[in-house]
A = this chain, B = another copy of it.
Amino acid sequence: MTVSSAPGKVYLFGEHAVVYGEPAVPCAVERRATVSVEPREDDHIRVEARDLSLDGFTVEYAGSTGDHPDVNVPTPLVEAAIGYIDAAVEQALDAAGESDVGFDITVESDIPLGAGLGSSAAVVVAGIDAATRALGVELDAEEIADRAYRAEYAVQDGQASRADTFCSTMGGAVRVEGDDCRTLDTPNLPFVVGFDGGAGDTGALVAGVRDLRERYGFAADTVDTIGDIVREGEELLSEADPESDPDESLLVELGNLMNFNHGLLEALGVSSRSLDNMVWAARTAGAHGAKLTGAGGGGCIVALDPTPETQTGLRFTPGCEDVFRAELATEGVRAEAEHDDASTGETAE
């Protein structure tokens, strides 16, 4: 049994626009997906998923090239999760030069699925790391990030950016612009996440922005404008001392940029009633800024507030199902000690 974990992320700035070559700044946060893999005697893949914001499911099928069987919880989210695990296994086999190895795979995650916190990237990154290590191959972080990107790219029909997978692999705050991926040295920002219990349809949301952008020059300009906000934001971050707590003026300025970014995302049609409701609740509670994070359409918002006020405010906001402080995850993908919770409940090695 080989176990790896990788963090989810919030977007400080730049989701959606990053698909069109604009920069984005995602920040890894301490919510992790943990993937345990155990090579099998045959070439079957058995996936057991727990805690994916649903009741868990188990599915077994014949290798990454075989037909996918019926799933016991056949929701679109589960189908999506299987697709990512499948693509991760394919990358791991390719990296190890293997083709007919099967795995028992257990996925545990405290990152809600499809909610804008990068659950799929975390699963793919942890899955590639665990599966390659199980096959005796040690990939460096750059290669894990690259293979994870290729896995997402395949599953998402070419609509992926490197942002989520690079961020989940490296941890911390990162800056991604096309193929150019860098880690950023930033102070630990006081993120608060609100979750409406829902999920957006990433594919449809990305397609919606693409349609608007192709149809209207002003929508293309709006995407460019998001890139300008990101550039402004990273300049602010670069001037801050990464070793000390961010000072109030930095939080105020970052918050203003987050608010502006959120409005442009709302213009692009990727917000939702409950996301806007949580964004306003956070601002009303005193957050320096708040925006949706990720693809939108439902799921999570991220706010900036060093005080407990925003958490309290969101906790009393109807439609906000969960609130938590999201510490910056300075570690990206990492090997985990095998533990009972992560076992499949069958034989541990």
Q: Which residues of A contact B (CB under 8 A)?
A: 212, 216-219, 221-222, 224-225, 228-229, 232, 259-269, 271, 273, 276-277, 280, 283-284
Contact = CB atoms under 8 A, between A and B. Distances in A.
Given A262-B267, A266-B266, A267-B264, A225 B221 contact: yes
10 contacts: A216-B260, A217-B228, A218-B260, A222-B260, A260-B269, A263-B264, A263-B271, A264-B267, A266-B267, A273-B283
- State the copy count for this chain: 2
Contacts of A222: 222, 225, 260, 264
Nearest to A231: B218
A232 B216 contact: yes
Contact of A225 (B212, B225, B260, B276): B225
Contacts of A259: 267, 269
Given A225-B225, A266-B266, A267-B267, A219 B260 contact: yes
Contacts of A280: 273, 276-277
Nearest to A222: B225
A221 B228 contact: yes
| Highest count of chain B CB atoms <10 Å: which of A217, A218, A259, A261 | A218
Contacts of A264: 222, 263-264, 267
A255 B125 CA distance: 41
Nearest to A264: B267
A263 B277 CA distance: 14
Contacts of A232: 216, 218
Contacts of A266: 262-263, 266-267
Nearest to A268: B263
A283 B271 CA distance: 12
Contacts of A277: 276-277, 280
| Highest count of chain B CB atoms <10 Å: which of A217, A221, A266 | A266
A252 B268 CA distance: 16
Sort A-B residue pairs by CB-CB distance and give the 9 closest, nearest first: A263-B267, A218-B228, A263-B266, A273-B280, A218-B225, A260-B267, A276-B276, A264-B267, A221-B225
Contacts of A267: 259-264, 266-267
A84 B160 CA distance: 55
Contacts of A283: 273
A167 to B, nearest CB: 23
A146 B221 CA distance: 35
Nearest to A219: B260
A212 B232 CA distance: 13
